[in-house]
């Protein structure tokens, strides 16, 4: 190295020989280099640990939200089970065919009249009193599907259940399938939005 | 001309810069890791809390179903009325009130949490759960950070065959922040 340095030094143009030679300058800065290296390594490890734990928190938050969703789905299913056997005494509020009388109101779950105000509007509004009647348009001479949304709170963050009650007459017997989809947040704009579903057949 | 090499060590400025960089480089990740550990503990508590909430909801459902099967009033016991299987202490309507002011506590192991009652009124402030590995309960074990409040109300229209069940878990996390989760379930007397 000494030899090389000597040559380099010698070859510098006149008038520049008082400056630090280029090769000597290249040997400096190792301290900063090592500091940066150790720093980057520990930063990478720290970020990795942090990322893992943030994901863990996300996971447990999603699991909690999932609880809200599944109980919303359950509330929707229970609502149907009740009104399928207790409407006006012992009748069903849900139509089976075009011959069924479809109630226009008086089917109340969680304080919401799902017959009168059961259709969730687009764009979403949490005020159920402004909602239209439930949807009973899918109706034939031997089958009918009733669709409604049950709000479990008063804001877009509130849980809700979107419920389908499908009834069909097969060989004189009525078969019912209740599909209740529970959401932790009713508005689709909310994140995270978790859906859990119950299906009841009888 | 001279061929003497510069033999000087690091200057003070260089050392200061290096020490500063190392301090930042090490303390930053350490803080992040420590924050990460805190978050992990919060996540663990949150998971425990929602299982405890689920536990209470399922127990109330099982009491309702048992009541129906045995021909009792559907909320017998929960509302402070007599229930031979799961007797309440009968104080302030136990879990049930119209305004949601009543709250109760019970454990799903069927322990007598107060005297010879399975359901006991909280009287405004529910006790903290105890942990006796591997079960949370109210009779034996070490006190935990979790407070579970169960409250049953009727819906806004006062329907008698419907009950809104709220289970609230509150706890103070490792950083001293009070955290709460509330699970709401609607029960119907449909059976």
pLDDT tens across A92-144, in order?
Answer: 889 898 888 888 888 888 888 999 999 988 888 888 888 998 988 888 888 99
Q: How much is the pLDDT for B80?
A: 87
Helix (H) / strand (E) containing B122: none
- Residue numbers in A near B169 (CB within 8 A): none
- Residue numbers in B near A50 (CB within 8 A): 32-33, 35-36
- Residue numbers in A near B10 (CB within 8 A): 31
Alpha helices in B70-170 (DSSP H): none
The answer to whether B50 contacts A111, with C-beta atoms less than 8 Å apart, is no
Whether the predicted model's global pTM rises above the 0.90 cut: no
Mention every residue, 6+ apart, whose C-beta is less than 8 A from residue B37. Answer: A53
The answer to whether A82 contacts B162, with C-beta atoms less than 8 Å apart, is yes
Q: How much is the pLDDT for A74?
A: 92
Chain A closest-CA separation from residue B70 CA (Å): 19
| Cα B143-B145-B148 angle, rounded to 5 deg | 95
Average pLDDT, chain B: 86
Q: How much is the pLDDT for A25?
A: 56
Q: How much is the pLDDT for B81?
A: 87
Is the per-residue pLDDT at B89 higher than 90? no
Name the residue among A120, A113, A105, A173 with its Cα closest to residue A143.
A173
The answer to whether A109 contacts B17, with C-beta atoms less than 8 Å apart, is no
How confident is the model over A24-79, as pLDDT tens digits?
555 667 777 877 888 788 888 878 887 888 888 788 788 888 988 999 999 999 99
How confident is the model over B101-117, as pLDDT tens digits?
889 999 888 888 888 88
| pLDDT band at B131; cut points 50, 70, 90 | very high
């Amino acid at each position: 190295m000494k030899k090389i340095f000597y040559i380099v030094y010698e070859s510098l143009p006149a008038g520049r020989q008082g400056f630090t030679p280029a090769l000597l300058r290249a040997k400096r800065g190792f301290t900063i280099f090592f500091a940066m290296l150790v720093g980057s390594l520990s930063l990478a490890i720290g970020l990795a640990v942090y990322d893992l734990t943030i994901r863990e928190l996300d996971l447990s938050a999603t699991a909690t939200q999932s609880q809200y969703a599944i109980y919303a789905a359950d509330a929707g299913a229970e609502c149907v089970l009740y009104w399928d056997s207790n409407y006006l005494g012992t009748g069903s509020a849900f139509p089976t065919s075009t011959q069924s009388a479809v109630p226009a109101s008086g089917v109340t779950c969680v304080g919401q009249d799902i017959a009168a105000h059961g259709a969730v509007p687009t764009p979403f509004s949490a005020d159920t009193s402004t909602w239209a009647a439930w949807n009973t348009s899918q109706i034939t001479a031997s089958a009918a599907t009733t669709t409604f949304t049950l709000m479990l709170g008063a804001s877009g963050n509130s849980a809700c259940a979107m419920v389908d009650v499908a009834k069909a007459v097969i060989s004189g017997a009525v078969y019912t399938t209740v599909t209740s989809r529970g959401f932790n947040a009713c508005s689709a704009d909310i994140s995270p939005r978790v859906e859990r579903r119950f299906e009841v057949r009888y | 001309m001279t061929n003497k090499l510069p033999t000087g060590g690091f200057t003070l400025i260089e050392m200061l810069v290096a020490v500063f960089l190392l301090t930042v480089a090490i303390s930053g990740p350490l803080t992040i890791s420590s924050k990460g550990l805190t978050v992990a503990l919060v996540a663990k508590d949150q998971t425990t809390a929602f299982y405890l909430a689920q536990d209470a909801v399922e127990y109330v459902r099982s009491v309702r179903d048992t009541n129906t099967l045995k021909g009792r009033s559907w909320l017998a016991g929960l509302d402070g009325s007599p229930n031979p299987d799961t007797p309440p202490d009968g104080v302030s309507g136990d879990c049930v009130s119209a305004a949601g002011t009543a709250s109760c506590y019970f454990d799903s192991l069927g322990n007598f949490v107060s005297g010879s009652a399975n359901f006991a009124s909280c009287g405004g402030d529910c006790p903290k759960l105890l942990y006796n590995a591997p079960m949370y309960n109210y009779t034996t074990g070490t006190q935990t950070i979790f407070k579970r409040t169960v409250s049953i109300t009727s819906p806004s229209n006062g329907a008698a065959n419907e009950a809104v069940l709220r289970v609230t878990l509150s706890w103070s996390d490792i950083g001293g922040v009070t955290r709460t989760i509330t699970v709401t379930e609607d029960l119907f007397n449909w059976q």
